Structure 1
Amino acid sequence: MQEHHLKPYEGLLVVSLEQAVAAPLASCHFAQGGARVIKIEREGEGDFARKYDGAVKGTASYFAWANHGKESLCLDIKKPGDTALLDRLLAKADIFIQNLAPGAIDRAGFGSETLRQKYPRLITCDISGYGEAGAYCEMKAYDFLVQCESGLVAVNGAPGHPGRIGVSVCDIGASMNAIIGLQKALIARGITGKGSAVKLSLFDTAADWMTVPLLHTVYAGNAPQPVGLHHPSIAPYGGFTTSDGQILAISIQNEREWVKLCAEVFERPDLAKDPLFCNAAARVRNRLDTDAMVAAYFAARTRAEMEARLRAASIAFGAVNSVADFAAHPQLRRAPVTLEDGQEAELVAPPVRHSFEPDQPRLGRVPAVGQHSAAIRAEFG
């Protein structure tokens, strides 16, 4: 007898007028949980994220990651017939997600307030760049630009060289916030019987993450500066090169760990009492001396020697891996996916695991552009 795994979102219909990353990742979460997700795309080219690259056997990496398990419906919402079809879909939908350009959804007649008046149980989710009001509300807001505007790049990178975070963190974070907001709205609907609006922006997402640097700037007048692999207020904390050219990162969080590092790794317990290094404030104040001392020790020993010593002393460490190293990491979990042309690939397995789900999940198929258009038009026609 085949084991049945609980799918908590089974029975939900999610309609998503989406593009790029933030909204597709959010709706993909619901597809993974068993919801029926209808992705609305432009006729012909579809979601422009389909053309970002062809890295996964001809399929775009972003698209495969954010769109498996969905149905693809091509619509032109400027055409009366397609507008009517979208209305019929939304009349039966539980959730409507959209991340179109500012104002576009309202001009098309599908603004969230209007929709919830027509369909009181519908939950709407608007993902924007900067929100619906304010001087920036109509600005285009790609992930990199929001990283810049929010100050994220100012606290990343190396000294004198602020840097973009190497993955689309504002898009990804916005999708996570959308999921959190939608789950809260589903619980609220279970209590009240009514849908509600979920609104969030990439900028607000980044701003939330920038709370600590913001507080340091506003209340202490001391904005954190980019420090590469190091930490603005902890030392030693960072990457140090071993004699065989590998980089190991260590993170000393408290005085107990510092004493153990000196005594059990460096075999120099006296260093823990040296005025230059005797407490956290002294080590930060004398960061150059602290880091030089640690770096010299690492430089005289191989990665294997250092890992053995650090592990024995219970000092937190990690290798500064390349992406190729990461791809071979023993802790990396993968899940199979079928691409739109039928080829097989592997994505990273979903990070959240539930006891009611299989240990080895299989992801849904990545849809071709308009693959389900005919069937959906017939069903809702």
Structure 2
Amino acid sequence: MTALPLDGITVVSCEQAVAAPLATRHLADLGARVIKVERPGSGDFARDYDETVEGLSSHFVWLNRSKESIALDLKDPAGIDVLRRLLTDADVFVQNFAPGAAERLGLGAQELRARFPRLVTCSISGYGDSGPYRDARAYDLLIQAEAGLLSVTGTPEQPAKSGIPAADIGAGMYAFSGILAALYERERTGRGAALEVSLFDALTEWMGYPLYYAGYGTPPVRAGTSHAAIAPYGCFAAGDGVEVVLAIQNEREWVRFCDGVLQRPELAVDPRFDTGSRRVAHRPELHAEIDKVLLDVTGDGLEARLAEHRIAHARRRELGEVLEHPQLAARDRWRTVDSPAGPIRALLPPIGYDGREPRMGAIPAVGADTDRIRRGLEEG
């Protein structure tokens, strides 16, 4: 089998929840050996979020394939000793302890890198290791609130959180990319690095365009699936109830939409709708005109017209439809991985590597690899 790019890299991770496990799962996908350190008995508390996937947590199944699990009591000096021995041969150490906990355990970045100069350490926290929010609770929804995501998501009447853990995912992806950069730098310098990633910093970075919009103009309004500065933009229902998402980006497309899709060319030059800003200003009237036409068109018929006239569009799908999405099927994106509950479907990771199949290993039970890992340390 052709080697994966991170074959030979060992990652030790004291991780739980979403952000750190997401970062390390992507490293495992690319071939790294990931040793997940868990509490004896209960393990990562994300194991208990739900029991949806054949009795297993959907979060845990998503984030923890291809890892080895060792159960260690880090309040016991013997557990810390085993962890330090693991770090002797590790390339990366990831932790998302509460602020200051790693230092109290003797696992702070400064101490570890003095002992292991080639080690890349990555600390993932809610708000960073300083500042007035350092010790604040940092659940994903709370970060979304503090970073302003709730202010731009939802409807004019009601804010809404994102339907996925955006802050956790953002932090996990920055940790993943930062670790890759640090490993690349180590190839040149021979030295590791100490990385710090916070959920708040990750999500405020993702808020870049709305922050600039607010700082130099007025804050974007919550507009549901619509857009604060573009119309028509968002969900529209065909006569049979199928919802199609439109995103008219320029005047040429607007004219084609009126002529070919709505079959009402006069709307393109209607003084209420003949520029982007006027369409936004008269959005309710615009939607009423579009809805009037779509009542007599099926979803399939509407999509056919949109495709014929090269209008950007998508079908709004429920999650059950996404599971059977024709694009996923056509590109063979599904695999099966083992788990304590038996075989489970899993999507291939987004990074495709020139024909090499990513690692799609089993989801471990708590401490499933403890004895084998300990024996390896004793024999080593």
TM range (shorter): over 0.9
Give the ranges of 4+ consecutive aligned residues of structure 1 lying more than 6 Å apart after TM superposition.
Answer: none
- 1:373 paired residue number: 370
Secondary structure in structure 2 of the residue aligned to 1:105 = helix
What CA distance in whole angstroms lies between the structure 1 residues aligned with 2:227 and 2:116? Answer: 51
Contact 2:28 2:359 in 1 (8 A): no
Query: 1:287-318 CA deviation, whole Å, 9 max, x = no partner?
Result: 11222211221122111111111110011111
What CA distance in whole angstroms lies between the structure 2 residues aligned with 1:96 and 1:116? Answer: 10
Which deviates further from its counterpart, 297-306 or 122-131?
Answer: 297-306
Secondary structure in structure 2 of the residue aligned to 1:272 = helix
Contact 2:167 2:202 in 1 (8 A): yes
Secondary structure in structure 2 of the residue aligned to 1:224 = coil
- TM-score, normalised via structure 1 length: 0.96
Secondary structure in structure 1 of the residue aligned to 2:364 = coil
Secondary structure in structure 2 of the residue aligned to 1:157 = coil
Structure 2 letter corresponding to 1:93: A
**Match of residue 195, structure 2, among 171, 193, 198:** 198
1:32 CA displacement:
1.4
Unaligned segments of structure 2, at least 5 residues: none
Superposed CA RMSD: 1.2
Percent identical pairs in the alignment equals: 45
What CA distance in whole angstroms lies between the structure 1 residues aligned with 2:237 and 2:65? Answer: 41
Structure 2 letter corresponding to 1:66: L
- 1:352 paired residue number: 351
Contact 1:337 1:362 in 2 (8 A): no
**Match of residue 250, structure 1, among 246, 251, 264:** 246
Secondary structure in structure 2 of the residue aligned to 1:176 = helix
**Match of residue 296, structure 1, among 281, 292, 300:** 292
Contact 2:26 2:349 in 1 (8 A): no
What CA distance in whole angstroms lies between the structure 2 residues aligned with 1:113 and 1:255? Answer: 57
What CA distance in whole angstroms lies between the structure 2 residues aligned with 1:15 and 1:171? Answer: 20
Structure 1 letter corresponding to 2:164: V
Q: How does 1:31-46 map to 2 (within 5 A)?
A: 31-46=28-43
Q: How many residues align?
A: 374
**Match of residue 174, structure 2, among 171, 174, 177:** 177
- 1:47 paired residue number: 44
Secondary structure in structure 1 of the residue aligned to 2:327 = coil
Q: How does 1:1-381 map to 2 (within 5 A)?
A: 4-220=1-217, 222-332=218-328, 333-341=333-341, 343-358=342-357, 363-381=360-378
What CA distance in whole angstroms lies between the structure 1 residues aligned with 2:109 and 2:229? Answer: 44
1:362 CA displacement:
6.1
Query: 1:311-355 CA deviation, whole Å, 9 max, x = no partner?
Result: 1001111111111121221112212110124x1110122112111
Secondary structure in structure 2 of the residue aligned to 1:170 = helix
What CA distance in whole angstroms lies between the structure 2 residues aligned with 1:57 and 1:312? Answer: 44
Secondary structure in structure 2 of the residue aligned to 1:148 = helix
Secondary structure in structure 2 of the residue aligned to 1:336 = strand
1:266 CA displacement:
1.7
Contact 1:337 1:365 in 2 (8 A): yes
Secondary structure in structure 2 of the residue aligned to 1:188 = helix
What CA distance in whole angstroms lies between the structure 2 residues aligned with 1:168 and 1:91? Answer: 34
Query: 1:196-230 CA deviation, whole Å, 9 max, x = no partner?
Result: 0111111111101111111111111x111211111
1:139 CA displacement:
0.7
Contact 2:73 2:79 in 1 (8 A): yes
Structure 2 letter corresponding to 1:276: R
Structure 2 letter corresponding to 1:352: I
1:372 CA displacement:
0.9
Structure 2 letter corresponding to 1:254: N
Which deviates further from its counterpart, 260-269 or 183-192?
Answer: 260-269
Secondary structure in structure 2 of the residue aligned to 1:158 = coil
What CA distance in whole angstroms lies between the structure 2 residues aligned with 1:261 and 1:5? Answer: 49
Structure 2 letter corresponding to 1:243: G
